[in-house]
Structure 1
Amino acid sequence: MRSLRRTVSVRFSLTIFGALLVIALWAYLGTRRVLQESLDQNLAAAAQLEHAVLAARLPIAIQPGPDDWDSFVHRVNRFVVIRNVDGRVVETNTAIAAAIPLDRTAFRRAVRGDTAWASQEWLNETVRSIYVPAPASSREGHDVLQIAASMQPLRTATREVLFLMLGTVFLGAVATAIGAGWLAQTSVAPVLEITAQARTVTPGVDRRITAHADTEEFAGLVAVLNDAFQRLARAFEAQRRMIADAAHDLRTPLTAMQGELEVALRGTRSPEAYRDVLQSVLEEVEQLTAISESLTLLARLEAGELAIDRMQQDVVELLRETTDRAQGRDATRSFSFHGPARAATASVDAHLLGIAVAQLIDNCIKHTPAGTKVRLGLDITAQEVVITVDDSGPGMPDDTLPHLFEHFYRSDAARTRTGSVGLGLTIAAAIARAHGGEIAAARSPMGGLRIALRLPRGSETT
């Protein structure tokens, strides 16, 4: 696993090193160019001076220096050579200058009246020369003036600049590496402190991270982690309640079954009595089966393991059939459907939508008294489908409405058994979310409870 501290240090050091290297290269090339231009300017000035001297028929202005090469280069560093039109040396300022090689191209340009430059190798050195035409008033045979200078001082200076720049880059790189390590250490330290504090958080315990929570750069990270821990704490609490409620709902029918069977085994009974016991046990088994199936369906929905088979379905027909089945199932309540008179389709999973609506109706049946009116409504637009289930029952307190879709939630504190598993509305909410919709509870205009199921209609509608 890569170390963020090491990665930051290396990348920062390489970035600064690259920048220093580019700056050093730019400075080196710039210095060399400036020195080259300075040498050319000096040669041009010397040529101008010598041109004036020749025009006045005076002796060569740049006096000869020592005859040995090294002394001449370091003390005088100027060669003056006067040539005739054939290129022969007519006059020099030192005996060594007579041996300076002639650049024919530059010489011919000077003969034609132009100023020309040339660089040549001579005695293991590079010599820079300027060729200018001699003035017409000069002595006969003085046709071209050549002023030359060794480039050794220039190269020595540029070499020193190069070494200085490389040394600066090296020292800068070392200093940068040290500084980058310190900077990375101080930058990562808060993250390490936050991580250490986060590791002390116990699952299910509502604790908050306080390290660097007041630092602008880390306040967002701390807030996100604290929010995640709070949501985890709520999830653990919900899981704990769900397990406790599931255990309660499973234990209740099992206890009833055990009691009935123990009573039946205490003595000899008639076949009718045994039949009644078995019928009661069968009802409890059906209750256990309903709990098991509800838990399985809810788990698959919440885990996203249940594929949504969307197809164009006639929602009006689906709700009418659901209403008729509910009326046939329970004659003590009045069920009705209010919606469009003609077919209206939407892209939904008909099977899951039927389960969701059935759960809403089942909730009305189990939690309202006989004689209650239950009305299914449908409002369908180009964008969404809104299914409502209203009842004229006693309704629910306002403070309980946000909790109706929680696992095993019942408003009665004593948890009086009504045959309800406590997962119907939770399953309906999960089906709504699986369709990309939502569900909400509110007071009904009929006086009881209203459950509104909102689903996107889909792109293909009729």
Structure 2
Amino acid sequence: MSWRRGRPLSLTLRVALLLAAVSVASFLAVGAYLYHTLQRQMSSRDDVELIVKADQVRHLIAGMPSAEAVRREAHALKDTLYGHNDFMLRVNAADGKPLLQTAVTSRPLPQVDSVPAQRALTLDDIHDWQPASGVGRMVRATGQAGADPVQVTLARERSDRLQVLRVYAGDLLLALGGGALLATLLGYVIVHRSMRQLRSVVAKANDISTSRMNTRLSVQDAPVELRELGAAFNAMLNRLEDGVQRLSGFAADLAHDMRTPLNTLMMETQVALSRARTVEEYQALLASNFEEYERLSRMIDNTLFLARVDNAQLALKREPLDLQAELQRIHDYFEFLADDAGVRLGVEAEPLRASIDPVLLQRAVSNLMANALAHTPAGGAVTLSARQGEEGVEIAVANSGPGIDPAHLPHIFDRYYRADQARSAGAGLGLSIVRAIMELHGGNISVASQPGLTTFSLRFKKI
């Protein structure tokens, strides 16, 4: 059984809910603190009042001549508890005989030690006890009525304390709910207003197309959080615009370059079909057509190679190579072409070994050699060299051609870029392929050019 995911929450709602959660957590923490603070203050105040009343009772008893006087003067002791119906006072003689009791507790009081008459009462002398409802606190002390010791027990049963705390807790929860709801609504409104800049980015992004790529975001007035996003978005648009322009130029150049051999094929075929031809004429036509087919094949092959590199579909097959022998083979391959062009071709390679893909190495160096021969006049020279560098091996192809215009040097390895003095005829992919091969190997390519000497250097790092 497949489950469909629901529509994801908007960023505005997510932030609003997050603010609500933070508000609820904060209110809960503050509410719990206030609740426990109130509980402690009420308990502390009750304990102090219990000690004060017990001291008053002991003081009055100390002024009585005997234990029997406690019974006779009971009204004076009861007056100390006037207005405090939650107090229970009990005075017993030394033999346990009750002398005074103002009320009966809901449950029996526990047996606790009595504080001596000579010692003042403190909060540590108060004990807990559990009434039928509410909270209970008590103190037991010895008093002196003349020569007779008496035991004074003062207890308090505060069921109203729990009720007060319940009402307070209810008010806190009500305030918590209202505060959380208000925080959610205000958070949603604030975040929604803050997202106007982001919605502006989305609106401008929707307006961008291949025919309108000059739109840019204004980041000066944007918040700090969106300023980096806007700058990155503008940089992306710059790259896209540059890529689209180059791709458009490449498409036009490729169409032009492919149209030339196709037109040649069509024209020669039409001429051949206009009348009967001899076998020799048909053979010459087929040979000419074969050259044009090779040219088309190279264009397609170069384009597919770069596409595989871009999509990481090309795996390196490194092998330990004898660079001197590899460069000599490439020299031998181009030697006949150099002789036909009247160009001297030489090799200056140290005996070196490196782990390189042999097929890709041959392709990269061959592209540079073909480019050098195409731009070296008759009587010039092309030199192929290899040496050990600080970080690896370096292979260089130098020619004595007229050099490359400095304005073209920053772009000479860019894909689809064409310069009359820097590129051979074609789609402008030769040097781009060389750079792609070097990037696959983790190396780099550079060029240095001046009138009479242009050198392309391939640097392969040590593995």
Same fold by TM (over 0.5)? yes
The answer on 1:333 being equivalent to 2:343 is yes
CA contact under 8 A between 1:193 and 1:211: conserved in structure 2?
Answer: no
- Letter of the aligned partner of 1:18 in structure 2? A
Residue equivalent to 2:78: 64
- Bigger shift: residues 369-378 or 10-19: 369-378
Q: In the aligned structure 2, how far is the partner of 1:73 from the partner of 1:430? A: 100
Q: In the aligned structure 1, how far is the partner of 2:74 from the partner of 2:328? A: 122
1:42-80 Cα shifts (integer Å, max 9, x gaps)? 1122222323333333756974269xxxxx896443332
- Letter of the aligned partner of 1:377 in structure 2? S
User: Which ranges in structure 1 are unaligned for 5 or more consecutive residues?
Assistant: 67-71
Q: 1:246 aligns with which of 250, 254, 261?
A: 254
The answer on 1:448 being equivalent to 2:448 is no
1:142-178 Cα shifts (integer Å, max 9, x gaps)? 1x22111221343343233323322321221122122
The equivalences for 1:361-400 within 5 A come to: 361-381=369-389, 383-400=391-408
Q: In the aligned structure 1, how far is the partner of 2:318 from the partner of 2:445? A: 19
CA contact under 8 A between 1:213 and 1:223: conserved in structure 2?
Answer: no
Residue equivalent to 2:56: 49
How far did 1:382 drift? 5.3
Alpha-carbon spacing, 1:328–1:23, altered in 2? closer, same or farther (3 Å)? same
- Letter of the aligned partner of 1:337 in structure 2? V
3-state SS of 2:78 partner:
coil
1:339-380 Cα shifts (integer Å, max 9, x gaps)? 43x3332x3222112211111101112222233211123343
CA contact under 8 A between 1:28 and 1:161: conserved in structure 2?
Answer: yes
Alpha-carbon spacing, 1:250–1:88, altered in 2? closer, same or farther (3 Å)? farther
TM-score w.r.t. length of structure 2: 0.85
1:363-408 Cα shifts (integer Å, max 9, x gaps)? 1122222332111233433533332211001122111223322345
3-state SS of 1:436 partner:
coil
Residue equivalent to 2:129: 120
3-state SS of 1:330 partner:
helix
Alpha-carbon spacing, 1:98–1:448, altered in 2? closer, same or farther (3 Å)? closer
Residue equivalent to 1:10: 17
- Bigger shift: residues 29-38 or 121-130: 121-130
CA contact under 8 A between 2:135 and 2:162: conserved in structure 1?
Answer: no
Q: 1:146 aligns with which of 138, 141, 153?
A: 153
Alpha-carbon spacing, 1:283–1:87, altered in 2? closer, same or farther (3 Å)? farther
How far did 1:457 drift? 2.2
The answer on 1:35 being equivalent to 2:45 is no
Alpha-carbon spacing, 1:73–1:304, altered in 2? closer, same or farther (3 Å)? farther
1:317-341 Cα shifts (integer Å, max 9, x gaps)? 322332233224432322223343x
Q: In the aligned structure 2, how far is the partner of 1:257 from the partner of 1:300? A: 29
CA contact under 8 A between 1:209 and 1:226: conserved in structure 2?
Answer: yes
CA contact under 8 A between 1:204 and 1:234: conserved in structure 2?
Answer: no
- Letter of the aligned partner of 1:159 in structure 2? R
3-state SS of 2:408 partner:
helix
State, as a whole percentage, how many aligned pairs show the same letter: 24
- Letter of the aligned partner of 2:248 in structure 1? R
1:403-456 Cα shifts (integer Å, max 9, x gaps)? 32234544239x9x9765532212111111222232232215x82322122332
Alpha-carbon spacing, 1:33–1:257, altered in 2? closer, same or farther (3 Å)? same
Q: 2:143 aligns with which of 134, 159, 169?
A: 134
The equivalences for 1:69-108 within 5 A come to: 75-84=84-93, 87-92=96-101, 94=102, 96-97=103-104, 101-104=108-111, 106-107=112-113
Q: 1:166 aligns with which of 163, 173, 181?
A: 173
Residue equivalent to 2:306: 298
CA contact under 8 A between 2:87 and 2:157: conserved in structure 1?
Answer: yes
CA contact under 8 A between 2:246 and 2:417: conserved in structure 1?
Answer: no
- Letter of the aligned partner of 1:3 in structure 2? S
Alpha-carbon spacing, 1:232–1:123, altered in 2? closer, same or farther (3 Å)? closer
CA contact under 8 A between 2:321 and 2:356: conserved in structure 1?
Answer: yes
Aligned pair count reads 443
TM-score w.r.t. length of structure 1: 0.85
Alpha-carbon spacing, 1:418–1:6, altered in 2? closer, same or farther (3 Å)? closer
3-state SS of 2:442 partner:
coil
3-state SS of 2:153 partner:
strand
1:173-227 Cα shifts (integer Å, max 9, x gaps)? 1221221111221122221121112101112533233456422322221111111
User: Which ranges in structure 2 are unaligned for 5 or more consecutive residues?
Assistant: 1-7, 66-72
Alpha-carbon spacing, 1:439–1:88, altered in 2? closer, same or farther (3 Å)? farther
How far did 1:253 drift? 1.0
3-state SS of 2:460 partner:
strand
3-state SS of 2:275 partner:
coil
Q: In the aligned structure 2, how far is the partner of 1:89 from the partner of 1:176? A: 62
The answer on 1:226 being equivalent to 2:204 is no
Q: In the aligned structure 1, how far is the partner of 2:117 from the partner of 2:295? A: 119
CA contact under 8 A between 1:205 and 1:233: conserved in structure 2?
Answer: no
CA contact under 8 A between 1:319 and 1:337: conserved in structure 2?
Answer: yes
Residue equivalent to 1:69: none
